[in-house]
Structure 1
Amino acid sequence: MNRRPTLLAALALTATAALTLSACGSDDDSPSKDKDNDKIAGVDTGGEKSASPSADAPDSGGRPKITFPSDAKNVFEGDKTGDPVKDAVLADNALGVNAVDEAIFQGSTDTKALGFYNTEKALESSITYAQRYIDGNDTWTGVTRYFNRKATLDGADKAYVTYCSDESKSFIKSKKTGKVDKSAATSDSYVLYNTALKRNADGVWQTTNIVSERGADECQP
């Protein structure tokens, strides 16, 4: 089931990226659990499942700690590629995803992590996306899985990450009533994401742009 409005940045990713972009429009007014929602997700790097930086783990080097409630979890597969630069890109991509979710959980887009890991059009889209949850007095619960995560480097300071998300076990939850909307999973519970990242002066790989496609064939089980 789908719990997010499509997170779509207006910029096109650089043509030099070794990706095929699959952007879909986003007219959603509120998060729901059908084909009008999207989340941030990943592409498998060989079937190995490894844990990405924990949402609750403190980060070193001045990085903000990201905190999730006990009933929600993001699981990122395929963090280890054998290339330390690509691994760093994938790790910061995961933290960028977690930062958007933390804003939803906190009920505020003014969190430290949101602008730390996201910038430019990606930050604008992430703020709009999280605000829809906040305005609707909603959050989410359950587990969202990110898989098929692939990083492509473009020089020393640019990278692209494609990935899929599986939202079949995550659900919209009303903050006011506590009611959880457990709609049945469909093909639209799986989302394809293409993202651009840029390494800043502090060595953080910030997401600069995001496009997504709900129900993409590449992400179906």
Structure 2
Amino acid sequence: MRHHKTTTAAAALAAGVLLLTGCGGGGTKGGDSKKIAGADSGPSASATPSASASAAADAADRPKITLPADEVLTFHPETTGDPVKDAVLRDNAEYVRAVDEAIDNQDLKAPKVAFYAKDDALVGAMQWIGLITKQNVSITGTIDYFDRQVTVRQDGAAMLTYCGDETKGFTKDRKTGKVDVTPPDSDSYVSYALVLRKNDKGVWQTTKLSSVRGDKKCQR
């Protein structure tokens, strides 16, 4: 969706990490994304952590997240067969859902977002939620997140990249119920790069996020 073109500048102020719902006017455009510190440096894991290591006690009592019936988020792939990477993908999907739920509920405190994010990613998410709440719109339609790829580094961080297809996702005016249908174009596709770290409860929290709207590598 490119439904917040008028708020592009304001969204970009939110640390460049605002395209969490796949619906925003923030982030960078045309391949000029700023690199995430540490996202492309440091040693990669020479081997995937073992299943026994990934099966360490997960003490997290994950919150239930509910989206309205007219909003559908899809994630591909959902699993890879690797337990560590699958945990990263699962918690990333819940992070995205949590942000959208907060927007739909106009929840400016967004405790579920804080469950799945911290540091720069959390700051950006809270600013984004506040910005969209002021516009009095909700999200509707389908957004597809695809080509999700995880790399686990020896220092414990996980790097996640994926694309967002917003061609069937839109915003809806809360007062009138009118859906802002925009025709698809290159800006309907967004690339994302995230850094996640596992906390002491076993949750992979997003700490940094950058995005590029109109990225050629995500065009379909």
TM-score normalised by the shorter chain: which range applies?
0.7 to 0.9
Q: Distance in 1 between matches of 2:89 and 2:108?
A: 23
In structure 2, relative to structure 1, the CA distance for the partners of 1:200 and 1:7 (3 Å cut) is farther
Q: Distance in 2 between matches of 1:18 and 1:188?
A: 33
Which residue of 2 is the match for residue 16 of structure 1?
41
Q: Secondary structure at the match of 1:125?
A: helix
1:158-198 C-alpha deviation (Å, 9 max, x unpaired): 10100000000010111111110111011100000000001
Q: Is the 8 A contact 1:114 1:123 kept in 2?
A: yes
Equivalent residues, number? 181
In structure 2, relative to structure 1, the CA distance for the partners of 1:18 and 1:95 (3 Å cut) is farther
Cα distance, 1:201 vs structure 2: 0.5
Are 1:5 and 2:25 counterparts? yes
Cα distance, 1:101 vs structure 2: 0.6
Which residue of 1 is the match for residue 179 of structure 2?
180
Aligned structure 1 segments of 4 or more residues deviating by more than 6 angstroms = 8-11
Which residue of 1 is the match for residue 191 of structure 2?
192
Are 1:104 and 2:103 counterparts? yes
In structure 2, relative to structure 1, the CA distance for the partners of 1:138 and 1:157 (3 Å cut) is same
Are 1:66 and 2:65 counterparts? yes
- TM-score, normalization by structure 1: 0.76
Cα distance, 1:7 vs structure 2: 4.9
Which residue of 2 is the match for residue 91 of structure 1?
90
Q: Distance in 2 between matches of 1:194 and 1:12?
A: 8
Cα distance, 1:11 vs structure 2: 8.0
Q: Secondary structure at the match of 1:70?
A: coil
Q: What are structure 1's unaligned runs of at least 5 residues?
A: 20-59
In structure 2, relative to structure 1, the CA distance for the partners of 1:154 and 1:66 (3 Å cut) is same
Q: What are structure 2's unaligned runs of at least 5 residues?
A: 3-22, 45-58
Q: Is the 8 A contact 1:11 1:121 kept in 2?
A: no
Cα distance, 1:12 vs structure 2: 2.8
Which residue of 2 is the match for residue 159 of structure 1?
158
Q: Is the 8 A contact 1:163 1:193 kept in 2?
A: yes
In structure 2, relative to structure 1, the CA distance for the partners of 1:195 and 1:112 (3 Å cut) is same
Q: Distance in 2 between matches of 1:17 and 1:95?
A: 27
Q: Secondary structure at the match of 1:188?
A: helix
Q: Secondary structure at the match of 1:135?
A: helix
In structure 2, relative to structure 1, the CA distance for the partners of 1:65 and 1:86 (3 Å cut) is same
In structure 2, relative to structure 1, the CA distance for the partners of 1:199 and 1:162 (3 Å cut) is same
Look up the equivalent residue of 1:82 and give its one-letter code: G
Are 1:201 and 2:200 counterparts? yes
Which residue of 2 is the match for residue 45 of structure 1?
none
Q: Distance in 2 between matches of 1:114 and 1:67?
A: 13
Look up the equivalent residue of 1:79 and give its one-letter code: E
In structure 2, relative to structure 1, the CA distance for the partners of 1:103 and 1:196 (3 Å cut) is same
- TM-score, normalization by structure 2: 0.77
Q: Is the 8 A contact 1:89 1:151 kept in 2?
A: yes
- Percent of aligned positions that are identical: 41
Which residue of 1 is the match for residue 74 of structure 2?
75
